[in-house]
Amino acid sequence: MITGPLAGQMLADMGADVIKIERPDGGDPFRTFRDGEVSPYFQAYNRNKRSVAADLHTDVGKLICRRLIESADVFIENFRPGVMAKLGLGAAEMRALNPRLVYCSISGFGSFGPYRDRPAYDAVAQALSGLSALFLDQNSQITGPTIADNLTGIYACYGILSALYEREQTGAGRVLEVNMLDSAVAFMPDAFASYSLGGAVPGPSRACKPRSPMR
């Protein structure tokens, strides 16, 4: 509800024509989350987009998706690994339709490893990466903005822009994989460097931030 939509919104903010595919039975769950018919949560991550309703479990819905893919520059999907392939809409199938397509898959833990099939939300990625341990002690509860979700959307957009630039040079598209755990870890290299190189265990009472005198 955040990572894929944020990546698309950032591209839309830069001028891309973004078409959001939503379920016919109410659309994105964020549309009616807590507030009204179009919630602030939905608006926060979906501005500047057009929407189309399509059930990707049906032949008609899959046809709509494939028709859009034929002329698209980028396709962003935000499911667990293998879900789109089971629907016949995986990277291999879509890039066979459009070899110039940049196909971006966003998941919780990537396409391999022991956690590949697990779903993930922001708090899960924050906890497993160690990010939350930099802010909280063991008796605290995670609060505040969705850091891991937002980081993943930003890194996805960053990768998509790089792939589009590469395509200008080569003429070929690319498959990108971005996941929440890697994104959260990549955001705090100083914490890992401090531990692996200096043995310092980072935490809320031992910040990795450098200190400078007041001026």
Q: Give pLDDT tens digits for 3-41.
A: 999 999 999 999 999 999 999 998 999 999 887 778 999
C-alpha dist (Å) from residue 131 to 27, 168, 183:
32, 36, 11
| pLDDT (tens digit per residue) in 143-162 | 888 999 999 999 999 999 99
With a cut of 90, say whether residue 164 has pLDDT above it. Answer: yes
Sign of CA dihedral 112, 116, 121, 126: negative
Q: Which residues contact 180 (CB under 8 A, 6 or more apart)?
A: 3, 106, 107, 108, 109, 120, 122, 124, 125, 148, 149, 151, 152
Residue 212 lies in a domain: no
Read off the CATH number of the domain in which 86 is found: 3.40.50.10540
Please check whether residue 107 lies inside any domain of the structure. Answer: yes
Range of the domain at 36: 3-198
| Residues in a beta bridge with 22 | 53
Catalytic entry in 13, 17, 117, 149: 149
Q: Which residues contact 171 (CB under 8 A, 6 or more apart)?
A: 100
Strand-pair category, 18-22 with 102-107: unpaired
pLDDT of residue 214: 57
Q: Is residue 148 part of a domain?
A: yes
In a domain, 113, yes or no: yes
In a domain, 63, yes or no: yes
> 70 in a domain, yes or no?
yes
Own/partner pairs, 130-139, CB within 8 angstroms, 24+ separation: 130/185, 130/188, 130/191, 131/184, 131/185, 131/187, 131/188, 133/202, 133/203, 133/204, 134/188, 134/191, 134/202, 134/203, 134/204, 134/207, 134/208, 135/204, 136/204, 137/203, 137/204, 137/205
Using alpha carbons only, what angle is made at residue 150 by residues 144 and 155, rounded to the nearest 5 degrees? 150
* Burial status of residue 36 (CB atoms within 10 A of its CB: 0-12, 13-18, 19 or more): exposed
**Region 66-91 average pLDDT:** 96
Residue 9, Cβ neighbours under 10 Å: how many? 22
- 149 flagged as catalytic: yes
Buried b (16+ CB within 10 A) or exposed e, 85-120: eebebbbebbbeebeebbbbbbbbbbeeeebeeeeb
Residue given tokens 């991550």 in the structure block: 45
Q: Please count the structural domains in the chain.
A: 1
Tens digit of pLDDT for each residue in 104-120? 999 999 999 999 999 89
Model confidence, pTM: 0.90
> Considering the domain boundaries, does residue 210 fall inside one?
no
